[in-house]
Structure 1
Amino acid sequence: MDSQATLAPATGSTGGAFDLVIAGGPVVWLLIAMSIVALTVILYKFAQFAMTGIWRTGHIEKAVKLFRDGNRREALAAVQGAKDPASITVATAIRGALRSDVSDAAVREEVERVATAEINGLKSHVGLLEIIGSLSPLLGLLGTVLGMIQAFRAMEAAGRNVDPAILSGGIWAALLTTAAGLIVAIPVVAIASWFERTILQVARRTEDAVTRIFTPDLTRRTESPADEIRAASL
């Protein structure tokens, strides 16, 4: 009878969400805490992306075009004050190009440093989401294993007096933690992957813009096609 009492709390009430949390035990409470942390990070990252304006690219293209046309100060004004990594990095490159007392190598080194710092700022806390996404299903599986161990130990202690209905209730309560772990992990992993892809796009955009600042536009024709072919054959 004592063994049946051990299993009974797992099947006491299954109607409400709070009852499911109670049935899941400490592992479910830990998963809830991790989900709150993950939600906080996700909201922070969305706010950060929106405030820095990483999806706005028109002013960057305008600045690069102005710079290549020789309007360097106008190009700097086009990205001045913008907070996204590409604009900040391009502004640094243009400022370096405007200074005659700084070597080209020093400018490139500083631009690389600024770009790395800005991209790393976007990457902040994304690693925490990846950790939560990786650990959540493992914690859920651990809770299930511990619950199954407890259920089968109680069945062994009960001998022939165990009630199959009570045993099945203990098993589903143990499996509840696996479901909770997956519920936390799936959206967190998906959103963290989206953050990573977005940051990668920003990094590529920054690299492309800076490269166009430091190199001439070879796509523009400076002479007729016949003259270009004749010059290439010399």
Structure 2
Amino acid sequence: MPELSSTITALPLLQMIQDGGWTMWLITSLSVVTLAIVLWKLFSLSRLGVWGGSHSRRALALWAEGRRREAMEEVRGRPSARARVAQAAIGTTLDPSIDDKTAREETARIARQTLYRAREGLRALELIATIAPLLGLLGTVLGMIAAFQVLQESGNRADPSALAGGIWEALLTTAAGMAVAIPAGVALSWFESIADRLQADLEDLATRIFVKADSPQQPALRLKAAE
């Protein structure tokens, strides 16, 4: 086993891809796409501000204390996802021309757009994690068929070493498929956990703002804000 591992490691990467056939080229392309998606998602989530939230937490504390205008200024123009939803909820609540139902619908719309951006690209990772090992298995099956066809045509003159060489070359595609599928699956689970946490935080944030807005003091506060 160590000898086989060292042999595979010693092979040039390009030679391994060529030995694996056309399925190996597809799996290699999927690996490049997976890396590109992961890097793009990290950049996209960073721009979306999914790891932020300090401003929205402070705004929520100010809102709970009845300091409405200060809460609005805390999140106004902030780039993080939580701050944008908090700004939508607070802004529509403070606007006397917007009723409670419309305020909730507008906040839900902003939250849905934010969550869509947080989950964008995850379907592609899910697809790669599914089809990469299947492509690897397909390449192995096709390689085994070709190897046994050679064995059948050779008859009694079959060389066992040639057969073994054909089989391990075919198994390269299965290993490559798993090597692509495992990181893609791990990245998918991590990004989904980030999106799920963001969704829970947005729901909690909007609910706490609207619940506090429905308190008995809120109508007077809204009128004061309108003045």
TM-score range relative to shorter protein: 0.7 to 0.9
1:162 to 134, 141, 158: 158
In structure 2, the residue corresponding to 1:216 is in which secondary structure?
A: helix
- Pick the structure with greater CA Rg: 1
C-alpha contact (below 8 Å) 2:53/2:80 kept by paired residues: no
Partner of 2:218: none
Q: Which has the higher contact order (CA 8 A, sep 6+)?
A: 1
Give the whole-Å Cα distance in 1 for the aligned partners of 2:11 and 2:174: 19
Partner of 2:57: 61
Partner of 1:223: none
Deviations, residues 178-231 of structure 1 (Å, cap 9, x unaligned): 0000000001100110000011001111111111101139xxxxxxxxxxxxxx
Give the whole-Å Cα distance in 1 for the aligned partners of 2:11 and 2:85: 56
Aligned residues: 205
Give the whole-Å Cα distance in 2 for the aligned partners of 1:29 and 1:140: 11
* Structure 1 stretch displaced more, 53-62 or 138-147: 53-62
Question: Following TM superposition, by how much is the alpha carbon of 1:67 offset from its aligned partner in structure 2, in angstroms?
Answer: 1.3
Matched ranges for 1:215-230 at <5 A: 215-216=211-212
Gap change, CA 1:35 and 1:15, over 3 Å in 2: closer
Deviations, residues 122-159 of structure 1 (Å, cap 9, x unaligned): 11111100100110000000000000011101111111
C-alpha contact (below 8 Å) 1:60/1:86 kept by paired residues: yes
Identity level (%): 38
Partner of 1:135: 131
Partner of 2:99: 103
C-alpha contact (below 8 Å) 1:52/1:82 kept by paired residues: no
Uncovered stretches (5+) of structure 1, i.e. residues with no partner: 1-13, 218-234
Give the whole-Å Cα distance in 2 for the aligned partners of 1:38 and 1:72: 45
Give the whole-Å Cα distance in 2 for the aligned partners of 1:50 and 1:187: 20
Uncovered stretches (5+) of structure 2, i.e. residues with no partner: 1-9, 214-227
Question: Following TM superposition, by how much is the alpha carbon of 1:114 offset from its aligned partner in structure 2, in angstroms?
Answer: 1.1
RMSD: 1.5
Instruction: State the TM-score, normalizing by the size of structure 1.
Output: 0.84
Code of the aligned partner of 1:171 = I
Give the whole-Å Cα distance in 1 for the aligned partners of 2:154 and 2:32: 40
- Runs of 4+, deviation exceeding 6 Å: none
Code of the aligned partner of 1:72 = R
Partner of 1:3: none
Give the whole-Å Cα distance in 2 for the aligned partners of 1:201 and 1:108: 21
Partner of 1:32: 28
